[in-house]
């Protein structure tokens, strides 16, 4: 048969394909995903697992009139390929290219922008109710993974949807693996449901034997429905008010297509449970879906290979080593992650201290309040969480931790820009949203060595402290393996110059030092956004004509704003230039190029200072 994919520019022809064509299309899409991700890097395992489901959805539903809402969205490469973006796949997650997640601005088929988990049911319900209110005949379909279904927001939406009369279909894509292995009672329930081999085998045998005798087959079907209630008790989802169907094989188009067609004809909220396999169709990814969750470039014929040169130690690795070393000397320490064991560097900690390791699932709100409860009883919780995900637990941070002044350490990974994941994952706002909270402190290490030391400083405090550090490696400063902290709330002068002083918060210290050589400027490593080293600030302000604040975080309300507030409180008038992330969402791309594009590399810092001050002002 001739290739189908090159002829597709939108999904409408797919609705007329027969079953053989649908399978051929699925095979071509899978090959396209593998080919492109191996060249660009990106999410692989999850996308290989949703190929047949995506093909079936676009075959059965009239997209984009019918709305598809993909949860998280890192499994939407097949969807992008089928909706007119196949030719742009080589630009995936690159600056100016297509995003790794759904974006409304990118395509009318991306009906809702996603990248954080567990939002799909709420959004799809809103769309379904809007259609009903406007008198429009359309369906809304939410596709959510078993990991994402553990979040409270998903259950809030299910609770609401179960009493709404609308055309909503929720599809549970059950692949038994989110990014880290899924945890919790719900996942055990799904595993037990799937392990009911007696029920599945009996059902299949009955259908095969009795299909030739329609009256007997109908009798068996009714008995099956009755037996289902005995073998698999009324499901949780039926209790929410959904009509539950499944589980069915998410890679079997002969099951998917007629099931979706039938569900499309039913009224009220529907729930379809499909079982898929991450990495489906690519044996290496099937065998190790975690390694192939978000690989860089690789040869599909060879698979992932270890680099020939030892890479620089990442901040995440520094944190993981510090956590293990501190736990070895302090039995009070416990480590908490909301389903990001690998990403947050907790693999070794779980192995060495399994009784003190808690993966609470995709449940950031619970993670923070759980830590507060542990702290109330004298333990020392360390919450390893991405900056962008802490945003989801802001009320808990204030109400449950800060107001009670509990000694919880927040290890904020992915602070600043994150590159290919784009605006949804950038840690741009943690300094502004943390420093305004009473009792909170915020540390900004400049390099790997300081990261370890400031984590120790944070752990030594009797109040909540956040330590923010970026994705990947920094300047390559090897940490000392001692557990000695740095003075709390104190910075240091790293270079003495004249006229202008650059106050650097975090890893931008190093480009600041480079720029300062050309400008003969002073460079201060502030280390703490809160408490600010006011004594050092005033000392530097008194001996310099102008100050420049520098941070890889939002300028509005950030560390530079803290400097201005401190100067004003002290009655000091001084020219201040604030450099940091501008008041805009910065999309995906290479982090080095992104920073250069907004003037936060050494050359950009030098240009901004020269443009603002020209010759160095005198004190």
**Which residues are marked as active site?**
278, 364, 392
The one-character DSSP state at 579 is E
Residue 89 is given by DSSP the state G
Residues facing residue 275 across a β-bridge: 174, 249
CA angle 343, 72, 444 (to 5 degrees): 40
At residue 367, what are phi and psi to the nearest 5 degrees? -55, -45
SS3 529: strand
If you write DSSP's letter for every residue of 290-317 in order, what string do you get? TTTSS--S-BTTTB----SSPPPPPHHH
Q: Give how far the C-alpha of residue 119 lies from the chain's centroid of Cα atoms, to the nearest Å.
A: 12
How many CB atoms are closer than 10 A to CB 95? 16
The side-by-side arrangement of strands in the sheet containing 500-505 is: 492-495, 522-525, 500-505, 546-554, 575-581
**Is the CB of residue 413 less than 8 Å from the CB of residue 344?**
yes
The rounded distance, in Å, linking the Cα atoms of 364 and 571 is 41
Q: Please name the helix (run of DSSP H) or strand (run of DSSP E) that holds residue 155, with its range, or none.
A: helix 152-161
Residues β-bridged to residue 465: 409, 441
User: What are the phi and psi torsion angles at 106 (to 5°)?
Assistant: -90, -35
The sign of the dihedral angle between the CA atoms of 203, 206, 212, 218 is negative
Contact 428, 581 (CB under 8 A): yes
Angle formed at CA 546 by CA 540 and CA 552, multiple of 5 degrees? 85
- Cβ atoms 61, 68 nearer than 8 A: yes
CA 469/CA 417 separation, integer angstroms: 11
The CA dihedral of 555, 558, 559, 561, to the nearest 10 degrees, is 80
Give me Rg for the CA atoms of the chain: 27
Q: Under a CB-based contact definition with an 8 Å cutoff, are residues 518 and 606 in contact?
A: yes
């Amino acid at each position: 048969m001739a290739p189908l994919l090159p002829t597709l520019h939108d999904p409408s022809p797919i609705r007329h394909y027969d079953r053989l064509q649908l399978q051929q299309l699925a095979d071509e899409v899978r090959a396209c995903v593998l080919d492109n991700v191996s060249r660009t890097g990106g999410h692989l395992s999850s996308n290989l697992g949703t190929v047949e489901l995506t093909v079936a959805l676009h075959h059965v539903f009239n997209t984009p009139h019918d709305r598809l809402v993909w949860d998280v969205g890192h499994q939407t490469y097949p969807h992008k390929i089928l909706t007119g973006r196949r030719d742009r796949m080589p630009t995936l997650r690159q600056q100016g290219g297509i995003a790794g997640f759904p974006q409304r601005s990118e395509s009318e088929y991306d009906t809702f922008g996603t990248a954080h988990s567990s939002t799909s049911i709420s959004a799809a319900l809103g769309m379904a109710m809007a259609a009903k209110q406007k008198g429009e005949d359309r369906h809304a379909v939410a596709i959510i993974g078993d990991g994402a279904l553990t979040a409270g927001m998903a259950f809030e939406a299910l609770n609401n949807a179960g009493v709404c009369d609308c055309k909503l279909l929720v599809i549970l894509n059950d692949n038994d693996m989110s990014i880290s292995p899924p945890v919790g009672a719900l996942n055990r329930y799904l595993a037990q449901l799937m392990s009911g081999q007696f029920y599945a085998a009996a059902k299949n045998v009955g259908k095969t034997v009795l299909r030739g005798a329609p009256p007997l087959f109908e009798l068996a079907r009714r008995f099956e429905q009755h037996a289902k209630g005995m073998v698999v008790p009324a499901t949780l989802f039926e209790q929410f008010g959904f009509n539950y169907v499944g589980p069915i094989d998410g890679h079997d188009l002969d099951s998917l297509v007629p099931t979706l067609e039938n569900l499309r004809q039913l009224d009220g909220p529907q729930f379809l449970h499909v079982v898929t396999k991450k990495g489906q169709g690519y044996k290496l990814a099937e065998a190790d879906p975690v390694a192939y969750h978000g690989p860089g470039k690789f040869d599909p014929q060879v698979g992932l290979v270890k680099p020939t040169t030892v890479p620089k130690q990442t901040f995440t690795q520094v944190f993981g080593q510090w956590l293990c070393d501190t736990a070895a000397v302090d039995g009070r320490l416990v480590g908490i992650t909301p389903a990001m064991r690998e990403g947050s560097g907790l693999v070794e900690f779980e192995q060495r201290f399994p009784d003190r390791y808690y993966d609470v699932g995709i449940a950031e709100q619970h993670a923070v309040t759980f830590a507060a409860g542990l702290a109330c009883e004298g333990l020392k919780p360390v919450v390893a969480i991405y900056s962008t995900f802490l945003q989801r637990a802001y009320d808990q941070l204030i109400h449950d931790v800060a107001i009670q002044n509990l000694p919880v350490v927040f290890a904020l990974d992915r602070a600043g820009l994150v590159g290919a994941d784009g605006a949804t994952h950038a840690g741009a706002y943690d300094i502004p949203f943390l420093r305004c909270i009473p009792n909170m402190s915020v540390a900004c290490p400049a390099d790997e060595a300081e990261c370890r030391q400031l984590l120790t400083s944070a752990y030594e405090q009797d109040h909540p402290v956040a330590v923010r550090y970026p994705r990947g490696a920094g300047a390559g400063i090897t940490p000392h393996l001692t557990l000695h902290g740095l003075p709390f709330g104190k910075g240091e002068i790293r270079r003495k110059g004249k006229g202008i002083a650059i106050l650097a918060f975090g890893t931008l210290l190093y480009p600041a030092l480079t720029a300062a050589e050309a400008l003969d400027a002073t460079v201060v490593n502030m280390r703490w956004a809160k408490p600010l080293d006011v004594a050092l600030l005033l000392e530097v302000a008194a001996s310099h004509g102008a100050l420049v604040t520098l941070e890889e975080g939002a300028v509005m309300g950030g560390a530079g704003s803290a400097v201005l507030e401190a100067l004003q409180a002290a009655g000091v008038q001084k020219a201040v230039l604030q450099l940091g992330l501008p008041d805009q969402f910065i999309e995906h791309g290479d982090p080095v190029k992104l920073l250069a594009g907004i003037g936060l590399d050494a050359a950009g810092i030098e240009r901004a200072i020269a443009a603002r001050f020209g010759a160095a002002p005198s004190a």
